[in-house]
């Protein structure tokens, strides 16, 4: 895993561009503490920071040239089927000087061309590839969006150029990068707590979407951005050809896919472990690792909280014993989390407000020094219907039987009920106040968008805000023939998974110089999951049925049938106590007016209500705090 960067600007000498590429790479030093490289030629320079995972020798250093010298690459990630590709390419006459997957990638491009080569890769990756013959830059991002890639256009006329990097902070090192804020992106952030691709917080920059290639030749006005793999088409194919069996048959068909995906993700020249919470996803991953490892030990790591309400280490220990794992508990305290909160915008260099980002990073920080690669269970909830909110499809089915006018009236009455009255109902009252507006949803698409939103009208809270579309509003993402469960899964895989879950995992792990890998994010597993009807994934209101069936081969069901546990900060309580001073400094009227991004009066009203006891909007307040904290770090400070 690494940090990649580069710049293409026609007519500018390499000696002028190489220092820029080096500065971009150095801004991402945590992504690659093991080495730094820069390569340049007239009009182009590539930079790289290396986290050595495969071929730790200098033969694995980057930027790397292809054998013919035609291609130069700055690559981040892993090609998990590189050994098979290497064998095939050797048979075609290619000679390899080292043992890295990057060298195999370059040979594949020389043999088949960029577009055909990437279709053959099984992996998680993002790269910039310079074709010295065609004077063309290729950008590529893996199918699910595990690894990030940002780009921006700079300059004008004949001097117009393109820059790219793993993180936005690298683009900010360029003296002519435009840091003007995209207020439409701010509006999306306030709704979702993340900024969906292709947008970024800056008007000038874009994220390359998952499964896309971009081609840019010197002199082009814009890159040509095209898909090489379509998640939407995968789901459509799955709907057209549904899996014919139930959970048991699905488990049998899934097992060889997961075995292969897990085995491939254990390949490394550095120590590998597994993050074990004791839940279904991580436990099954650990079980498959134990099986693949043979007689070799498998190290499992669990975060241990001093606060019993959040601690899962005892349960995870029982799972580890059942599987025969070497188990280590990584201690984390509330004080550790509190100390980390103010520095979160340094790692997440655009606004991001999934509150589990803090404990997730601390886990990887504790892991560093133990292993360099950690397998996780990311993606299993989306693939196999694990989220509790998927049960809301049935709730809306009952609600929509009522006339829309009556539902709108009920929603209005709930909205006007004083918060203190609803609070008398306890947690149910708080949820009712937050969810009451869903009663007025005109259709299921609007209902689900509202269900996963932190505010129903974010444009009213953002100064100068207007809300653009996303897959949750795009009619093209209404899949013909999809039942509501699979429609929700598809929406989540198109937005929540790449833009929240995987952004969190990437920044949290790379901020500690650890590589995270998940077998459930293998695109072949996703393609199989897209074919599973509800009867194959859900029984008696419980999802992940194929995973449950598989896991029961290795341990008693009593170890994994407990309720799903959360992994987040106690934001609701801390904002009124431990984080109150920090929150007040960011949400003071003067701070809000200085940033000029949010309606100061409206945000102050939310903050004052929270301090007075109405904690029902703590998630929205966390969004506002992370936005303000990001602004103070990256825009408000003169040294940014």
Q: What is the pLDDT of residues 85-118, one digit of tens each?
A: 999 999 999 999 999 999 999 999 999 999 999 9
| pLDDT for 14 | 81
pLDDT tens, 398-417? 878 888 888 888 777 776 66
pLDDT at 555 over 90: yes
Q: Residue 407: inside a domain, yes or no?
A: no
Same domain? For 245 and 193 the reply is no
Query: Kind and range of the H or E element at 363?
Result: helix 357-367
Tell me the CATH number at 251.
Answer: 3.40.50.620
Same domain? For 624 and 496 the reply is no
pLDDT at 72 over 90: yes
Q: Residue 419: inside a domain, yes or no?
A: no
Same domain? For 217 and 84 the reply is yes
Same domain? For 549 and 626 the reply is no
Rounded-to-integer distance, Cα 65 and Cα 69, Å: 6
| pLDDT for 174 | 95
11: nearest Cα among 168, 190, 135: 135
Domain boundary among the residues 196, 212, 229 is at 229
Same domain? For 315 and 354 the reply is yes
Buried b (16+ CB within 10 A) or exposed e, 503-535: bbbbbbbbbbbbbbbbbbbbbebbbbbbbbbbe
553: nearest Cα among 246, 287, 276, 294: 287
Rounded-to-integer distance, Cα 524 and Cα 204, Å: 34
Q: Rounded mean pLDDT of 206-211?
A: 98
Chain mean pLDDT for the chain: 92
Rounded-to-integer distance, Cα 466 and Cα 293, Å: 52
Same domain? For 81 and 30 the reply is yes
Can you spell out the DSSP letters for 162-213? EEEESSHHHHTTSTT----B-HHHHHHHHHHSS--TTB-SBTTEEEPPTTEE
Question: What residues form DSSP beta bridges with 39?
Answer: 46
Q: Residue 156: inside a domain, yes or no?
A: yes
pLDDT confidence tier of residue 639, bands split at 50, 70 and 90: very low
Same domain? For 184 and 333 the reply is no
pLDDT at 515 over 80: yes
Helices 101-112 and 82-91: crossing angle, nearest 10°? 50
pLDDT at 565 over 70: no
Same domain? For 316 and 327 the reply is yes
Same domain? For 514 and 579 the reply is no
Query: Kind and range of the H or E element at 110?
Result: helix 101-112
Residues in CB range of 528: below 8 A, 6 or more apart: 243, 253, 254, 257
| pLDDT for 170 | 98
Same domain? For 127 and 199 the reply is yes
Domain boundary among the residues 197, 229, 261 is at 229
Q: Residue 10: inside a domain, yes or no?
A: yes
| pLDDT for 460 | 94
Same domain? For 251 and 358 the reply is yes
pLDDT tens, 330-345? 888 888 989 999 999 9
Rounded-to-integer distance, Cα 182 and Cα 537, Å: 40
| pLDDT for 2 | 87
Tell me the CATH number at 147.
Answer: 3.60.20.10
| pLDDT for 6 | 98
pLDDT confidence tier of residue 394, bands split at 50, 70 and 90: confident
| pLDDT for 211 | 98
237: nearest Cα among 536, 479, 522, 520: 479
Q: Residue 21: inside a domain, yes or no?
A: yes
Q: Identify each DSSP E strand in 490-588 by its residue range.
A: 515-517
- Give the count of domains, the chain: 3
For the whole model, what pTM was predicted? 0.94
* Region of poorest pLDDT, from 146-155, 284-293, 414-423: 414-423
pLDDT tens, 516-534? 999 999 999 999 999 999 9
Q: Rounded mean pLDDT of 374-390?
A: 96
Instruction: Let me know: does 146 contact 211? Beta carbons within 8 Å.
Output: no
Q: Residue 147: inside a domain, yes or no?
A: yes
Helices and strands (DSSP H and E) totals, the chain: 30, 17
| pLDDT for 11 | 78
Rounded-to-integer distance, Cα 156 and Cα 151, Å: 16
Q: Residue 607: inside a domain, yes or no?
A: yes
Residues in CB range of 439: below 8 A, 6 or more apart: 399, 407, 408, 410, 411, 414
Q: Which two tokens stand for residue 346?
A: 């340094």
| pLDDT for 494 | 97
pLDDT at 423 over 80: no
pLDDT confidence tier of residue 217, bands split at 50, 70 and 90: very high
Q: Residue 305: inside a domain, yes or no?
A: yes
pLDDT confidence tier of residue 430, bands split at 50, 70 and 90: low
Which residues are marked as active site? Answer: 2
pLDDT at 640 over 50: no
Domain boundary among the residues 199, 229, 259 is at 229
Same domain? For 271 and 306 the reply is yes
CA distances from 133 to 41, 136, 137, 159 (A): 12, 8, 11, 20
Segments forming the whole domain that contains residue 317: 232-386+487-559
Other CB atoms within 10 A of residue 333 CB: 13
Rounded-to-integer distance, Cα 529 and Cα 21, Å: 40
């Amino acid at each position: 895993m690494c940090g990649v960067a580069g710049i293409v600007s026609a007519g500018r000498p390499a000696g002028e561009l190489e220092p820029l590429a080096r500065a971009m790479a150095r801004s991402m030093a945590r992504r690659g503490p093991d080495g730094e490289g820069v390569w340049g030629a007239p009009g182009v320079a590539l930079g790289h920071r290396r986290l050595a995972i495969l071929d730790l020798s200098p033969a694995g250093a980057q930027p790397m040239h292809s054998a013919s010298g035609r291609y130069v690459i700055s690559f981040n990630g892993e090609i998990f089927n590189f050994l098979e590709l290497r064998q095939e390419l050797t048979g075609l006459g290619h000679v390899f000087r080292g043992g890295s997957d990057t060298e195999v990638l370059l040979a594949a491009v020389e043999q088949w061309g960029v577009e055909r080569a990437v279709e053959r890769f099984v992996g998680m990756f993002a790269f910039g590839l310079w074709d010295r013959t065609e004077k063309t830059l290729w950008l590529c991002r893996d199918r699910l969006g595990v690894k990030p890639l940002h780009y921006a256009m700079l300059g004008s006329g004949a001097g117009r150029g393109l820059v790219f990097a793993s993180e936005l902070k690298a683009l900010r090192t360029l003296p002519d990068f435009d840091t003007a804020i995209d207020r439409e992106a701010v509006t999306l952030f306030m709704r979702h707590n993340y900024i969906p691709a292709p947008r970024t917080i800056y008007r000038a920059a874009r994220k390359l979407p998952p499964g896309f290639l971009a081609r840019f030749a010197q002199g082009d006005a814009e890159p040509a951005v095209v898909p090489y793999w379509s998640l939407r088409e995968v789901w459509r194919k799955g709907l057209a050809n549904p899996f014919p069996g139930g959970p048991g048959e699905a488990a049998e068909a899934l097992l060889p896919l997961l075995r292969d995906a897990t085995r491939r993700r254990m390949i490394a020249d550095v120590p590998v472990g597994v993050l074990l919470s004791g839940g279904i996803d991580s436990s099954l991953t650990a079980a498959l690792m134990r099986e693949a490892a043979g007689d070799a030990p498998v190290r499992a790591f669990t975060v241990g909280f001093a606060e019993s309400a959040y601690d899962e280490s005892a349960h995870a220990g029982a799972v580890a014993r059942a599987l025969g794992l070497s188990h280590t508990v990584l201690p984390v305290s509330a004080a550790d989390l509190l100390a980390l909160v103010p520095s979160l915008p340094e790692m997440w260099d655009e606004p991001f407000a999934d509150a589990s980002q803090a404990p997730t990073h601390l886990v990887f920080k504790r892991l560093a020094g133990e292993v360099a690669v950690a397998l996780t269970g990311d993606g299993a909830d989306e693939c196999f219907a694990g989220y509790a909110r998927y049960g809301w499809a049935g709730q809306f089915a009952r609600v929509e039987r009522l006339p829309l006018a009556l539902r709108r009236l009920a929603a209005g009455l709930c909205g006007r009920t004083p918060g203190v009255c609803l609070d008398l109902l306890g947690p149910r009252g708080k949820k009712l106040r937050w969810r009451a507006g869903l009663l007025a949803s005109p259709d299921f698409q609007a209902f689900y968008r509202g269900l996963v939103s932190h505010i129903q009208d974010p444009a009213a809270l953002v100064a100068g805000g207007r809300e653009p579309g996303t897959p949750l509003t795009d009619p093209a993402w209404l899949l013909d023939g999809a039942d509501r469960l699979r429609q929700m899964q598809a929406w989540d895989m198109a937005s929540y998974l790449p833009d929240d879950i995987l952004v969190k995992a990437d920044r949290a792990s790379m901020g500690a110089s650890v590589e995270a890998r998940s077998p459930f994010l293998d695109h072949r597993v996703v393609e199989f999951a897209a074919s599973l009807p509800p009867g194959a994934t859900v029984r008696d209101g419980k999802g992940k049925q194929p995973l449950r069936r598989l896991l029961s081969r290795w341990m008693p069901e009593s170890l994994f049938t407990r309720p799903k546990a959360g992994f987040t900060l106690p934001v609701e309580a801390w904002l009124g106590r431990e984080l109150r001073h920090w929150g007040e400094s960011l949400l003071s009227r003067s701070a809000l007016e200085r940033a000029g991004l949010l309606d100061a009066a409206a945000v102050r009203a939310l903050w004052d209500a929270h301090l007075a006891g109405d904690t029902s909007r703590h998630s929205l307040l966390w969004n506002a705090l992370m936005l303000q904290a990001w602004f103070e770090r990256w825009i408000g400070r003169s040294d940014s």
